[in-house]
Amino acid sequence: MQFTAQQIGILLNGIVDGDPDVTVDQLAKIEEATPGSLSFLANKKYEQYLYQTKASIVIVGEDFVPTAPYTSTLIRVKDAYSAFSILLDQYNTLKRDKSGIEEPSFIHPTATLGQNVYVGAFAYIGANAVIGDNSKIYPQVYIGDNVEVGENSTFFPGVKIYYDCKIGNNVIIHSSTVIGSDGFGFAPQADGTYTKVSQIGNVIIEDSVEIGSNTSIDRATMGSTIIRKGVKLDNLIQLAHNVDIGANTVIASQTGVSGSTKIAENCVIGGQVGIVGHITLARGTQIQAKSGISRSIEEEGKKWAGAPATTYNQHMRAQVVLNRLPDLERRIEELELKLRQKNTE
């Protein structure tokens, strides 16, 4: 789709400064833009790019004063970054504007679909499942029996939701992520074998959660594994049975949380972190990437690092010395030698 500078100016409530008929069909960073691209300049630091860019249109602040020649049409708005974000979102909405039921799909006769739902080909919606208005079930998604999905949620191709799980409104889940697989529970027997402990709970995902691709969230043994409102999870994350993630907590890729651990609200957890089971992390806890957390953290809003983790500052000081260890050992040897020499003097 092509848009003229004039059309975009009207959309953003901005003033067109240049050719109103120039057209664009894509969005790009100002330093990478090609003819036909729309870009933005929000930070003075990048101003020099304006004088080199091939972007056909650049969104700038309303009081921007150029200091060199440029070729783009400018659109002057109150806040260039916000205006560009609006365009990004609208572009994305257009790209993801799917609706209707594609065939073949499998919708159990007892399932209930809201208005304006998208069901892609080869999607499966089980018995008694409920899908709220405007939700998008992409191709090859599996929605098990009795699953409830709220409004305006999106499941990308290949998402698997096991039976009895509950998903809120405005939730986004990316491809190949699995919600509700069995918790890892086995009772050791005298002969060295293990007996499976049935996992009969479910997973509850509250509103406005986003979950990346290839992530696994296990169902609770009994009760629920809970991902609370506004949580953001990256790709390839492991959340074990009965885990509870507090509202607006963010977890980066490849991190694992063991069974029954409860993480409070507004935490920020880096990638490749491991957290043991049956502990609690206080509100606002920050964990550096690759750390290992082996006991509860009770003080709010602190930053931790290392495996096992200590405070971030203590860990950083220790790491600095770590690589001097061979040197420290040599200095101790020298001290011992000197002291022995003194004793024999």
Positions in 57-96 near its own copies (CB under 8 A): 85, 88-89, 91-92, 95
Contact pick of 2, 65, 192, 344 for its own copies (by CB under 8 A):
192
Residue 177 phi, psi dihedral angles, 5° rounding: -75, 145
* Burial of 139: CB neighbours in 10 Å, binned 0-12, 13-18, 19+: middle
Residues numbered 2 to 41 that lie near its own copies (CB under 8 A) are: 27-29, 32
Contact pick of 8, 158, 203, 287 for its own copies (by CB under 8 A): 158
168 touching its own copies, by CB under 8 A: no
Q: Is the dihedral angle over the CA atoms 138, 140, 144, 146 positive or is it negative?
A: positive
**Can you tell me which of 6, 71, 112, 248 binds its own copies, judged by CB under 8 A?**
248
Classify 208 in phi/psi space as left (phi over 0), alpha (psi -120 to 50) or beta. left
Q: Does 325 bind its own copies (CB under 8 A)?
A: yes
DSSP structure class, residue 320:
H
The reply on whether position 118 binds its own copies by CB under 8 A is no
Query: Any contact of residue 102 with its own copies (CB under 8 A)?
Result: yes
In whole angstroms, what is the distance from residue 137 CA to residue 124 CA? 9
17 or 211, CB closer to its own copies?
Answer: 211
Q: Does 289 bind its own copies (CB under 8 A)?
A: yes
Tell me the closest approach of the beta carbon of residue 10 to its own copies, in angstroms.
21
CA atoms of 120 and 141, how far apart (whole Å): 8
Report the residue number, 18 or 157, with the smaller CB distance to its own copies.
157
Interface mask toward its own copies for 302-321; x: CB under 8 A: ----xxx-x---xx-xxxxx
What is the rounded CA–CA span in Å between residue 320 and residue 315? 9
- The candidate with the shortest Cα–Cα distance to 41, out of 23, 22, 68, is 68
Q: What whole-number distance in Å separates Cα of residue 23 and Cα of residue 44?
A: 26
> Count of residues binding its own copies (CB under 8 A)?
107
Q: What is the pattern of x (binds its own copies, CB under 8 A) and - over residues 202-241?
A: ------x-x-xxxxx-x---xx------x-x-xxx-x-x-
Active-site residue list: 241
